Amino acid sequence: MSPRLVLVGAPGAGKTTVGQLLAQRWSVTFADTDVLIEAEAGLSVADIFITQGEPAFRDLEVAVVSATLAAHDGVLSLGGGSVLNEGTRSLLRGQPVAYLTVDATHAAARIGLNRDRPLLLGNVRGQLMNLLSERAEHYASVALWTVDTSSLSPDEVADLIETQMGAK
């Protein structure tokens, strides 16, 4: 068993919104690894970062991504930093992965001053620009399809993903 689609991308790219929309269209389930991590840890992502640190969060993330890739057959959204781990990137190779790109301006507008995103505290736009440049190569390395969501509606993004998947 493997997911019908895996979505990767930076915070604010639309992974959750588009993933839920596609899951609904396809009558499959939607899963978000950050939500699964929170359920397993009994803490929010922000609290895990604060109390246990980013390395502990990333270790838990790799385990959850691995288990979910093996057990989930719907649409799966990965946390924005999950691709930083080579083990996770290895697991994603050969999976139906779509990379949702977004520019920093649109991402910042979508997420606002969200305190639940620990890596974006402070200068949100500046932090996003750093994350986008740091992670873009990793996202692209695992993706079969890429959609720039910056100026598109969720329905338009979903339509493009369906078109690209049909073309492959």
Average pLDDT over residues 79-89: 90
Average pLDDT over residues 149-167: 93
What the chain holds in terms of domains, given with CATH numbers, is 5-163 (3.40.50.300)
Tokens of 45: 């992502």
Question: Nearest Cα to 152, choosing from 163, 140, 136, 144?
Answer: 163
Condensed to tens digits (0 to 9), the pLDDT of residues 13-24 reads 899 999 999 999
* Strand 30-32, strand 5-9: pairing: unpaired
- Name the pTM for this structure: 0.86
Q: How big is the CA angle at 29 (ends 58 and 10), to the nearest 5 degrees?
A: 40
Condensed to tens digits (0 to 9), the pLDDT of residues 26-57 reads 999 999 999 999 999 999 988 998 899 888 99
* Strand 145-148, strand 97-101: pairing: parallel
- Are the CB atoms for 9 and 15 separated by under 8 Å? yes
Q: Residue 103: pLDDT band by 50, 70, 90 thresholds?
A: confident
**Centroid of chain to Cα 150:** 15
Helix (H) or strand (E) holding 49: helix 45-52
Average pLDDT over residues 127-142: 82
In angstroms, rounded to a whole number, what is the distance separating the alpha carbons of residues 31 and 77? Answer: 6
Average pLDDT over residues 90-95: 93
| pLDDT for position 126 | 64
In angstroms, rounded to a whole number, what is the distance separating the alpha carbons of residues 100 and 161? Answer: 9
